[in-house]
Amino acid sequence: MDCIFSSSIVSSIMVKGNGGISCQISMARFMANARRRLPKNLLNPRRTKLPPDPGVNQFLKNTTSGSGPSFTDFTSSEKIEFPEEEHDDHEEADTENYFVDDKDGEIIWDSDEIEAISSLFQGRIPQKPGKLNRERPLPLPLPHKLRPPGLPNPKIRARTGVPSRASLSKQVYKRPDFLIGLARAIRDLSREENVSKVLNRWAPFLLKGSLSLTIRELGHMGLADRALQSFCWAQEQPRLFPDDRVLASTVEVLSRNHELKVPLNLEEFTRLASRGVLEAMIRGFIKGGSLNLAWKLLVVAKKGNRMLDPSVYVKLILELGKNPDKNMLVLTLLDELGQREALKLNQQDTTAIMKVCTRLGKFEIAERLYGWYVESVHEPSVVMYTALIHSRYSEKKYREALSVVWEMEAANCPFDLPAYNVVIKLFVALGDLSRAARYFAKLKEAGFAPTYDIYRNLITIYLVSGRLAKCKEIYKEAKNAGFIIDKQITSRLLQCASRKMIRS
């Protein structure tokens, strides 16, 4: 850096008289202060701000563009001066040789350095090789989210100690396997041993209603006496009795095995007995075949204005419908069901009544039952569809029955073997050979084995159509399946074969 005083002034001061030496010392101090380091803001002065450009910054443009000055022009036109500092001689010599030209005092930049610096302003700094927009990997699936919905795993809790008797009772008294195991343990007793030997052991773990399943299981085993002993033992337990469920189960088992003493005064009995006991007694009589006693008890209950469950009527209708002599009783029970304001029947009971009505020729009742079930916002099953098709087929309403088949197809209702049997019978009655053959092929594709009625109906429709070769094929297939075709179909086949031979 140049000093503010020239060399002539300094020499003139030093030549003077008495004050020459002092002036020389003060001048040395001044020169030393001048060599001190300047502040950072003066060493690296800020560049003057460029005018704002809303488009592209002209300073950051590519060096190839000719619109504005390049980075090399900007650096070459500006002179950068460094202050004099106290360094080693070697460092100063190296610095001067590297940055400053000896002649002009300007910085000299190599072409490689200028290219490296200018490349920083041309675009983005190159990144490491690889994908710049890497997606975050998904988290690992948690074990509790891998379970299928609706099937939660049971909670497994570690036992800290021996469970209390109350908690064990809550776990045991409703478990079917435990209650059926009690019945099996009672069955294994010898005739001399009483049921108390088994029941006393588990008495603390039983609650009201627990022994009802055990007593019913003893009835299925044919041990009505053991069921009665279990009921008598429960009567002696204040915690377990009185209980209508245990009483109803005992009454049903005894009435089914014809070991229940029927009271002489049925009106008094129906007035005092609960609804569950009455229904259990009627169900026991029906299962035991005592239909007359079940009918009498039902009539007495009706006279006493006792409203029983419709399932009891349905069970009695099904059993009475098997006997043609009891048709009047069946119609009476159907009228009683029809007079109810709020009728509650499940799909199985509704279909069973439709079959009974078809057997009795009461097709209008079957139609009304089907309409009532559909209007109750229920979806019919393949069994109910089959019952309706058979009812309309029996009434010889073939076109109406065919509409039910299309309804099944539209609802994607899978066919079972009885449904294929009824549908093929319907197509044979309509004389539709192509559809009968198509549904026969569907039956085989579904994995069903054709029945004797299906083979017989197909042989019949092929005989009517005059396709003797197809008749022989179906006849041979039925014979290989183990069926023996009746003499009527065989004679018709022989007649058709003889006529064809005569014509040829």
Provide the residue-wise pLDDT of the chain in tens; the chain has 504 residues.
Answer: 444 444 444 444 444 444 444 445 555 555 555 566 666 666 666 666 666 555 544 444 444 444 444 434 434 444 434 344 444 444 444 444 444 444 455 667 788 887 777 776 666 555 555 555 667 777 766 655 555 555 555 565 555 444 444 454 455 667 888 888 889 999 998 888 888 888 888 888 888 888 889 999 999 998 999 999 999 999 888 888 888 899 999 999 999 988 888 777 788 888 888 888 899 999 999 998 888 889 989 888 888 888 888 889 889 998 888 888 888 888 888 888 888 877 788 888 899 999 999 998 889 989 998 988 888 878 889 999 999 999 999 999 999 999 999 999 998 899 999 999 999 999 999 988 999 999 999 999 998 999 999 998 898 888 888 888 888 888 888 888 888 888 887 787 777 767 666 665
Q: How far apart are the first and last CA of the chain?
A: 136
Question: 3 CB contacts (<8 Å, ≥6 apart)?
Answer: 31, 34
CB contact at 8 A, 186 and 226: yes
Residue appearing with tokens 């060493």: 43
**Alpha carbons 257 and 289: distance in angstroms, whole number:** 10
CB contact at 8 A, 291 and 285: yes
How many residues can be counted in the chain?
A: 504
**Alpha carbons 181 and 234: distance in angstroms, whole number:** 17
Ranges of each domain in the chain? 8-27+169-262, 449-503
Residue appearing with tokens 């990144």: 127
Backbone angles phi, psi at 100, to 5 degrees: -115, 140
Question: 347 CB contacts (<8 Å, ≥6 apart)?
Answer: 373, 378, 380, 381, 383, 384
CB contact at 8 A, 405 and 426: yes
**Alpha carbons 171 and 222: distance in angstroms, whole number:** 29
**Alpha carbons 303 and 268: distance in angstroms, whole number:** 12
Structure pTM?
0.59
Smallest CA-to-CA distance from 455 within 443, 465, 445 is with: 443
